[in-house]
Amino acid sequence: MRAAAPQQSPEWRVNPRPERSVRGADLTTLGIGGEIKNLLRPRCEEELVSMLRGLNPGEGPFCVIGGGSNVLMTDDAFDAPLVLTTAMNGVEVERRGSGTVLVRCGAGVRLADLFAMTLEEGWGGLEFASGIPGTVGGAVMGNAGTLHGETGQAVRSVRMIGAGGAVRDFSGGGIEWGYRSCGLADEFYGVVSEVTFSFRELEKEAVLEKARRSADSRRNQPRGRMTAGCVFRNPPGGSAGRLLELAGCKGLSSGGAAVSEVHANFIENPGGATARDFARLALICRDRVLELFGVRLQFEIRTLGISLGD
């Protein structure tokens, strides 16, 4: 999977030049975000290591973005170094005995593409992933999943690159997987470089049927709209979407942002919404649920350069 690094000058490798004046709105599924002043877009692990080594400590800690599917980015200029992993998209397949298949993916591989590959080949382990956007790196860090399964269940190993280019490998079985969370963020501050998944060779129709059942359970989510996915995590034993709907949040709006009429745990950007609009509306919804049910919903989306309160 690790293709030869693109030919670059030695000077570039020592002092990688970031991209300038990229809009965050162009990198997120919500379509919101101001100017990114220091974007790093590595195409392979070697470039990622070189870029992180070349960062000036005075610029502050770097941030990471993949498919931008659960991200709310500030409307203002974003000054911190931002690593975009989408160009790290190589895939390597290794078949083992007893029907085991190992698939090593660059962090920027789209989860939807990997899901489609497993369906085509009849590999079990990712059937729950129908309709989940983003990249495998983001799916690992957020342990993306549904009621039918989670990413961590299929992870064999994860490689991360930290500040200064430090490299660490983690076994999937040694990672503390939680609900929409992953212990890697607490253990090592860095960028996912590659993920190795372990799948099972099964009858193709059995894999397809399981994937269909998972997809059917998610048909009530808004499609073809600009959103950041679910805004809130489900509380223990409950449904954030159900609480928000009972609190009358469907259809609420603030500025250019509006709560989906299809599913109350999604906030849409019909066009022209700002991060401030989104944040204001999300807090209104959270306060309604707290007042009516005494449940303080926790945010599932990530924020870059903007606060959603405590």
**Enzyme catalytic residues:** 180, 230, 300
Q: What size, in residues, is the chain? A: 310
Pairing of strands 100-106, 181-182: unpaired
Q: Token pair of 140, please?
A: 């690992």
In whole angstroms, how far apart are CA 189 and each of 9, 161, 230?
A: 29, 8, 25
CA atoms within 13 A on the CB side of 266: 21
Please report, as a single letter, which amino acid is at residue 49: V
In whole angstroms, how far apart are CA 42 and each of 13, 66, 118, 192, 268?
A: 11, 12, 26, 12, 30
* Sign of the dihedral defined by the CA atoms of residues 29, 192, 233, 127, in that order: positive
Largest separation between any pair of C-alpha atoms in the chain: 61
Could you give the CA distance from residue 98 to residue 152 in angstroms, rounded to a whole number? 21
β-bridge partners, 267: 259
Tell me the Ramachandran region of residue 236: left when phi exceeds 0, alpha when psi lies from -120 to 50, beta otherwise.
Answer: beta
SS3 assignment, position 197: strand
Please answer whether residues 283 and 300 qualify as being in contact, where contact means their C-beta atoms are separated by less than 8 angstroms.
no
Please answer whether residues 198 and 105 qualify as being in contact, where contact means their C-beta atoms are separated by less than 8 angstroms.
no
Could you give the CA distance from residue 283 to residue 258 in angstroms, rounded to a whole number? 13
